[in-house]
Amino acid sequence: MAGLKYMSGFGNEFASEDPRCPGSLPEGQNNPQVCPYGLYAEQLSGSAFTCPRSTNKRSWLYRILPSVRHKPFTPMSCGDLTENWNDVEPDPNQLRWKPFNIPKSSEIKVDFISGLHTVCGAGDSKSRNGITIHMYTCNTSMTDKCFQNADGDFLIVPQQGEILITTEFGKMMVEPNEICVIQQGMRFSVDVFGETRGYILEVFGAHFELPDLGPIGANGLANPRDFQTPVAWYEDRTVATGYTVVNKYQGKLFSCQQDFSPFNVVAWHGNYTPYKYNLENFMVINCVAFDHADPSIFTVLTAKSTRPGVAIADFVIFPPRWGVADHTFRPPYYHSKSENMQHNSLFKLLFCPSWTIAVLSWQVFQPLLSNLYNESKIFDCFYCPHL
């Protein structure tokens, strides 16, 4: 959308106020006795108060009405969302899903929330350790409705159709070949402009961060300056018919009603924000004299576990690049794992057709086709395509 502005950086201490209300961001303190314009000060924490400064996440929001002013939450249908893996029979085989069909708007109206489908996962939100992978297929915008994930962070990857995400921090337009992250506890609404499809990586117990570069040096992979955070935007809107807040809590959905828009944050500051990233900005590290570099060099974002060097989840891409190597078997090598992996599986999704290798069949590898590899030494080695 033309006119949307962003701030550059990853994990920065940002500050923003809507230009319609100059001076709305308090100076010198977080919680003045009387906030400018009569606003309410709220702190949104993404970590414990006592976390080390390097990992402490929080933002201060200055809003027209406090977010706590709503009616009680009541359970609602979860549709195709789940994280109850005990009810699912384990399957060690390699699995493949064809692209999910997008409902026709002429037949049924499906918004972002009702179009969520859980595909796979491990762990759960109660233990604060694990991941879930969802698909979304929708054809209509969320009207007087927002979503809040109390369980973890959403990493959203559009495959078809751009999405306009309105958050308490501002607006983001996210197009195919871009990703965005909505962190735990942030309210957002999704507008679409036709048939829309993509997938979501949800992590529990950790936030996404940039991977360590090690010997690569100071630059490379996803550079911090290329991440974009929205600027403050608000609406002072009363909704007499009721505004619906949908909350995902311990894998279940709950909803409540309030009579105003939650996107009433006039100003904010902090380092706990939503953000987006254009995958075309990824700096690939891959030219080798022989053999293959391990696929970890393609990591865009990682969610670390409590064990050093082991991630809850890595978001990895295989973009266009030069592939040169002497006396080396060109296709990816056979691969199985037996080390201390957090969740010993690999989920692969094709969301950008131009990133496929020329020898791959377009009929076989379709947009949003996905695969799940359960990698373990107890099974025969198989062809795990680290493209």
**pLDDT at residue 128 in the model:** 85
**pLDDT at residue 347 in the model:** 64
* Distances from the Cα of 274 to the Cα of 67, 94, 313, angstroms: 18, 34, 19
Between β-strands 58-63 and 40-45, what pairing exists: parallel, antiparallel or unpaired?
Answer: antiparallel
**pLDDT at residue 97 in the model:** 78
**pLDDT at residue 356 in the model:** 41
- Identify whether the C-beta of residue 184 lies closer than 8 Å to the C-beta of residue 105: no
Q: What is the pLDDT of residues 135-170, one digit of tens each?
A: 999 999 999 999 999 999 999 999 999 999 999 999
**pLDDT at residue 40 in the model:** 98
- What's the DSSP call for residue 98? P
- Identify whether the C-beta of residue 179 lies closer than 8 Å to the C-beta of residue 315: yes
Q: What is the pLDDT of residues 237-262, one digit of tens each?
A: 999 999 999 999 999 999 999 999 99
What residue ranges define each of the domains in the chain, with the CATH number in brackets?
71-263+275-279 (2.60.120.10)
**pLDDT at residue 384 in the model:** 41
**pLDDT at residue 346 in the model:** 65
- Identify whether the C-beta of residue 125 lies closer than 8 Å to the C-beta of residue 250: yes
Nearest CA among 315, 232, 305 for reference residue 277: 315
Strand order, beta sheet including 370-374 = 95-97, 370-374, 345-349
**pLDDT at residue 292 in the model:** 82
Q: For residue 335, say whether it is annotated as part of any ligand binding site.
A: yes
Length of the chain: 387
**pLDDT at residue 301 in the model:** 96
| One-letter amino acid for residue 132 of the chain | T
**Residue ranges of the chain whose pLDDT lies below 70:** 1-2, 335-387
| One-letter amino acid for residue 56 of the chain | N
Catalytic sites, residue numbers: 292
Q: What is the pLDDT of residues 327-376, one digit of tens each?
A: 888 777 776 665 544 445 666 666 555 544 333 333 444 555 556 555 44
Specify the residue for token string 């002072």: 236
**Model pTM?**
0.89
